[in-house]
Amino acid sequence: MITGFDHVQLAMPRGREDAARSFYAGLLGMAELPKPPVLAVRGGCWFASGAALLHLGVEEPFAPARKAHPALLADDLDGLEAVLTAAGHPCVRSDGEIPGVRRFHTHDPFGNRVEFQQALPAGDGTGRLKARAQAAERGRGARGAPALPFNSCVHIRGVALMLNRWTQTRSLRSVRS
């Protein structure tokens, strides 16, 4: 049984770690995590913020992920959009497509699509996140299976992985050990 996931990985070209750091740490405010020495020689970077763990791994030949993407949660979507736009990363808004969620996507320095989401307040009448929370409180999903309180989604190669509260209980300390 799957109980959660550890991280999401995006590809990057060899030797572009400084560009990754500028975007993921500098603009997004994620903390860079040290890679184990045996993996560090392969290149790439690891980043974390809250429950989000993102690995960038060198892929040769490199091809950016234009459709598959991580969807990261933000606490100030408008502020983040302003920072990214000012830094030359155009943002495409998709508000209203998913009830209860404000969102946009942009591309990292390598052309990988990255989505950012922020839930609307619980009383906005859209019901998406409220319905999930109510199902989790009842302990049952829509089909009677045990429900987890989902609160984000990551799309990888056409598969949607839901992030649950288990991932949010992990601390940066436990991730590094």
pLDDT score, position 163: 41
DSSP secondary structure, 2-50, as one string = ----S-EEEEE-TT-HHHHIIIIIIIT-PEEEPPPHHHHTT--EEEEET
The dihedrals phi and psi of 105, each to the nearest 5 degrees, come to -130, 155
Which token pair is 162? 């839901």
Cα dihedral 54→109→39→31 (10° resolution): -50
pLDDT score, position 167: 38
For the domain made up of 8-176, give the CATH fold.
Answer: 2,3-Dihydroxybiphenyl 1,2-Dioxygenase; domain 1 (3.10.180)
pLDDT score, position 5: 84
Looking at the whole model, is its pTM more than 0.95? no
pLDDT profile of the chain (177 residues), mean per 10: 93 98 98 97 97 96 96 96 98 94 97 96 56 48 41 39 38 36
Q: Are 110 and 64 in contact (CB under 8 A)?
A: yes
Q: Are 166 and 3 in contact (CB under 8 A)?
A: yes
Sorted by sequence, the CB contacts under 8 Å of residue 51 that are 6+ apart come out as 163, 167, 168, 170
Per-domain residue ranges for the chain?
A: 8-176
